[in-house]
Each structure stands twice: as structure tokens, then as C-alpha cells.
Amino acid sequence: MKTYNVGIIGATGMVGQRFALLLADHPWFNVTALAASARSAGKTYLEAVGPRWAMSDPIPENLEGMTVLDAAADIDKICSAVDFVFCAVDMKKPDILALEEAYAKHDCPVVSNNSANRFTPDVPMIIPELNPEHIDIIPAQRKRLGTKRGFIAVKSNCSLQSYVPALFPLDSEFGVDKCLVCTYQAISGAGKTFERWPEILDNVIPYIGGEEEKSEREPLKIWGKIAGDKIELADSPKFTAQCLRVPVSDGHMAAVFVSFKKKPTKEQILEIWKNFSGVPQKLSLPHAPKQFLNYFEADDMPQTKLNRNLEGGMAVSIGRLREDTQYDYKFVCLSHNTLRGAAGGGVLLAELLCAKGYMD
């Protein structure tokens, strides 16, 4: 496989740090540019991150001394040093839209973790095992942007990376009708650690701005279909969500209640989960988990601390599937929010785009 030079925009942040670690020994990708805000620009990566480094592994040695560039002011320099960029920045939505489009228009593809472009009709929002065919919208997007190579592809929100993968493969046979979900979300999802957010210890916060809307609406784009030059949202399944912040470092848990158009047996659901695999597994992409959906029989599993790192944090853990009195079934599921839910999901999406020739 060919190798690609890549940049990390937002390299100093929580997700950017994950990208730095995941890309350090990636078989296809070499990090040749790091960028963040003007506050970090001109410093070495080590200086710019400083005490904000929140990963348990140290900063990759080859990145420590690399000079951090200004994501906006140094765009020409960055684009000339890379084949594409990963983007995870904490900025206002209009500024993110402008930044990502500027990179795309410099003919530099953008694999984004940000929410700003998730509902741009010709921007694919992809969970690579579920809707890889949505990358076929990219030629239409390039036409709109007037680019040869440049485009934007995004991954979906971290909250839904456990329950949407569990439900999606059940839909074609049984028709997922409606779903009620409560999420229990880690503090790294807010870019925080316990040191920086002591108020979260011994506490639960029943509000995460914008999260419930994303958790209810984004699945409809994953379920959507390409129609001409846009992706049309599906109008079902219907989702309702409550999202809570809990005192956990990493890993988003979800408690799910679901009804189907045609109720499956428990055995049928378990069989589909066990046998499910997608294009990333078929192509043996470097970050594809071998077994994407993993069911645990024990009543007290999965647990955030024990299971979040399953298959490098790229697999989904499921448990407690049982019939419900008001919905057909209920179960719990878990995924690592900064790995599968953020940087890892971004890296897997980039691997898919490379394998399909979109980064050439």
C-alpha cells in the first residue's frame, strides 16, 4: 500500500492527541504537519501541549520537536506538506465551516471529527462498517467545490457509536421502528480530565449541550441514501435520547430500548451481531476491529473500565439483551469515545478513503 503524508489540525486538543498517538506508527500514514490555534503556533508540539497532554502513553518522540503551525494562517504551507488532513478543532461552527472548506478548496481532503459539516447534504458522514457507500457522493461535492482532489468527509458524533452499530445490522431483516436511548458519557468527550474538572467527581451532570439533538438526528443521515448530488436523510427509525455526563475518563455507555416492525427472537439478534462485519473487515484496513460487535453474556458486562479498549478501542461491546415490557427489547452497549468515537473512527474512515482511491 502507498504511504500518505498527513496533517493534524487541532493537534494539541484531546482528540488531536489521540490522532498523534494513533498515527505515530501507522503503516500507511506519516505525520508531516501539526496545527492548532495562533496561541500554539511557533511552539514545538511538546511546548504547545505542555501539561494538557492527557494520554497515558507519552507524546510520540518524532512529534515532540515538530513546530506547530497556525491552522488558518499557515494553510498554504500545511497543504503543500500533506496529502490530506485530520481535523478536530474547538471553534465556532461558521469558523469550522470556513476552515474545512478552505482546506478542501486548497485540494487537500479533510477527514473531520467536527460536527459543523455533518448535515451539509453532499458531505458523507460515515461509520465505515455501516454506510461506506456514502463516499460515492464525493465526486458531486468536488463538483460543487470546484476541486480536483479536495473534499470533506466526516464521522458522526461519539454518543451514537455504540447503539447505531448495534441497531443498523438488525434493520434490513426486522425494521428498527423506534428507539429510546440514555447515554452515560465520559469527560474526555468534553476535552476534560479529572485534574481539569474536579467538580465531576462524585457527580452526574444531566445536560450535554447539543448532544441529544445529535444523538437523535445523526442516525438518520447514516441510514440515508444518495439521491443525485446529496444524501437524503431517512425518516426512520425514530430516536429519542437523554445524554448524561458521568465521572468516567473514557468510554460512552448507552442504555437502549428498541421496538421492531417485525420482532426478532433474542437468538436471531445475537446471531446477526456475531456474524456482522463490513467493508473495513473485508479490506483488512489497519484499524478495523476483527470482531466489530461483541456480546457479553455476564449480567454485569460490559463495563466501561474493563471493555472500552477492546480491539484497540475500535470494537463495540454489548450486553444485557432481554425482552422489555414496553419496547420489544432492551440492552446496553459501550464504545470508546476518543478512539472509535473520534480519532480512531477518523483514522478508519481515512483508511477506507485511501483504499477506495479518494486520497490519490
**Segment contacting ligand NAP by CB under 6 A, of 82-90, 212-220, 295-303, 308-316:** 82-90
| Alpha-carbon dihedral sign for residues 12, 13, 15, 17 | positive
**Segment contacting ligand NAP by CB under 6 A, of 14-22, 212-220, 225-233, 288-296:** 14-22
Specify the residue, 23 or 269, whose C-beta has the smaller distance to ligand NAP: 23
Nearest-approach distance from CB 90 to ligand NAP, in angstroms: 4
- Which helix H or strand E contains 96, and what residues bound it? helix 93-105
SS3 content of the chain, % helix, strand, coil (to 5): 35, 25, 40
Nearest-approach distance from CB 287 to ligand NAP, in angstroms: 16
Q: What is the DSSP letter of 294?
A: E
Q: Is 8 in the site for ligand NAP (CB under 6 A)?
A: no
**Segment contacting ligand NAP by CB under 6 A, of 32-40, 139-147, 268-276, 328-336:** 32-40
* Binds ligand NAP (CB under 6 A): choice among 31, 33, 75, 114: 114
* Binds ligand NAP (CB under 6 A): choice among 4, 7, 15, 329: 15
Beta-carbon contacts of 54 under 8 Å, excluding residues fewer than 6 positions away, are 14, 17, 188, 193
Q: Is 20 in the site for ligand NAP (CB under 6 A)?
A: no
**Segment contacting ligand NAP by CB under 6 A, of 119-127, 128-136, 336-344, 352-360:** 336-344
The radius of gyration computed from the CA coordinates of the chain, to the nearest angstrom, equals 20
* Binds ligand NAP (CB under 6 A): choice among 1, 3, 5, 39: 39
| Alpha-carbon dihedral sign for residues 76, 91, 185, 132 | negative
CB-based contact 327:348 (threshold 8 Å): no
Specify the residue, 99 or 170, whose C-beta has the smaller distance to ligand NAP: 99
Residue type at position 341:
G
Nearest-approach distance from CB 270 to ligand NAP, in angstroms: 29
Q: Residues with catalytic annotation?
A: 158, 252
* Binds ligand NAP (CB under 6 A): choice among 128, 132, 165, 191: 191
Residue nearest to ligand NAP (CB): 13
* Binds ligand NAP (CB under 6 A): choice among 113, 162, 215, 307: 113
| Strand 252-260 to 329-335 pairing | antiparallel
* Binds ligand NAP (CB under 6 A): choice among 21, 79, 89, 135: 89
* Binds ligand NAP (CB under 6 A): choice among 4, 6, 14, 359: 14
* Binds ligand NAP (CB under 6 A): choice among 188, 215, 259, 307: 188
CB-based contact 70:14 (threshold 8 Å): no
User: For ligand NAP, what does the binding mask look like between residues 339 and 358, x meaning CB under 6 A?
Assistant: --xx----------------
d(CA 15, CA 344): 9
Extract the C-alpha cell encoding 239.
430516536
Q: Is 313 in the site for ligand NAP (CB under 6 A)?
A: no
Beta-carbon contacts of 295 under 8 Å, excluding residues fewer than 6 positions away, are 270, 273, 274, 318, 319, 321
What are the CA-CA distances from residue 219 to residues 126, 156, 249 (Å)?
Answer: 10, 8, 25
Specify the residue, 258 or 352, whose C-beta has the smaller distance to ligand NAP: 352
β-bridge mates for residue 44, sequence order: 67
CB-based contact 19:347 (threshold 8 Å): yes
- Contacting positions for ligand NAP (CB under 6 A): 10-16, 36-37, 39-40, 71-72, 88-91, 113-115, 158, 188-189, 191, 337-338, 341-342
